[in-house]
Amino acid sequence: MPALTAPVLRVGAECTELDGLPLFRGSVDHLLDEMEALVASGGHHLVMTPNVDQVLALRTDPRTAAAHRAASVRIADGAPLVGLARLLGDRRIQRLTGADLLGDVVARSAVNGWRVAIVGGAEGVSDDAAGRLRAGSPGAHLVTVPFPFVRSVDDAGCAVVADALREERPDVVFVCLGSPKQEAWFLEWRDRLPPGVYVGAGAAVEFAAGTRTRAPRLVQRLGGEWLWRLAQEPRRLAHRYLVRGPAFVGVVLRSLLAARERRS
């Protein structure tokens, strides 16, 4: 991706914007409060979790760009994105991941009565994840909805997922299909889905089930989780991290240049 066309991150006194739209600033407790307000407001809401790959896809994938525009909340999942925001002067932004948010929402549901659903995950994985999450948060109402094999998100086979969710009437839905499929599915089927907050959570279900292992907290804080995941899945992630990832330099350069122009 040429640096001149890369998305721009801008930090202002009131908000931090990624490609012209605000990123969430605050703690996980603030985020849960925001989600609670969205649930209470009714309607269909998307929580997007931009990482480096998704930031770069804003210029190369129309589905990612559409989801970015449609999202009610955008949390900074990628450590390089958080690091860039802090370099530009944002002291409030925190890294909030879909993997962590799944457990946090389930714990909150045991207190406030949220109905939570997990969509997607390999056969048996979502059930294992739900079992472990229920054990950690007694009283949580958590269901799983399998996702059929389909060639595209507009496949009629997706209707069974929408119908199952309408029957369950969840308040929060974690869509674990990988990006951009999970966000594209939400946009395609939004009018048929029940109201609620939908979180594009990628591999969160696999981390919750224990089929994949998160990096140690120290590695996460140092921004090295991508190396941990690359070591676990080199064949699947090498292109993302080693070929596409360096293009994030263009985002950094454009963002620094934009900040310099604002100060001049």
pLDDT, tens digit (0-9, with 9 covering 90-100), for 44-68: 999 999 999 999 999 999 999 999 9
pTM for the whole structure = 0.94
Mean confidence (pLDDT) of the chain? 93
Is the Cβ–Cβ distance between 224 and 215 less than 8 Å?
A: yes
**Rounded Cα distance, 11 and 13, in Å:** 7
Token pair, residue 161, equals 């997922």
- Give the pLDDT of residue 37: 97
Mean pLDDT of 204-222: 87
What are φ and ψ of residue 88, in 5° steps?
Answer: -85, 0
Contacts of 17 (CB under 8 A, 6+ apart): 9, 10, 23
Higher pLDDT, 222 or 147: 147
Show the CA angle centred on residue 125, arms to residues 158 and 152, nearest 5°.
25
Alpha-carbon separation of residue 41 from 21, 35, 94, 130 (angstroms): 21, 10, 25, 27
Torsion sign, CA atoms 31, 33, 39, 43: negative
**What single string gives the DSSP state of each residue in 131-156?**
HHHHHHSTT-EEEEE-----SSTTSG
Helix (H, G, I), strand (E, B) or coil at 122: coil
**Rounded Cα distance, 111 and 16, in Å:** 31
Closest among 61, 65, 50, 18 to 251, alpha carbons compared: 18
Confidence of residue 2 (pLDDT cuts 50, 70, 90): low
- Give the pLDDT of residue 212: 87
Torsion sign, CA atoms 156, 158, 160, 163: negative
The sheet with strand 115-120 has its strands ordered as 73-74, 44-48, 196-200, 172-176, 115-120, 141-145
Mean pLDDT of 141-168: 93
Helix (H, G, I), strand (E, B) or coil at 41: helix
**pLDDT tens-place string over residues 183-198:** 999 999 999 999 999 9
- B/e letters for 151-168, b = 16+ CB within 10 Å, e = fewer, are eebeeeebeebbebbeeb
Looking at residue 97, the DSSP 8-state letter turns out to be -
Type of residue found at 37: A
- Give the pLDDT of residue 4: 62
**Rounded Cα distance, 68 and 59, in Å:** 11
**pLDDT tens-place string over residues 215-230:** 888 888 878 888 888 8
Token pair, residue 144, equals 């799983």
Closest among 24, 144, 150 to 96, alpha carbons compared: 24
Quick one: what percent of the chain has pLDDT higher than 90?
78
> Which single residue is written with the structure tokens 């998305």?
7
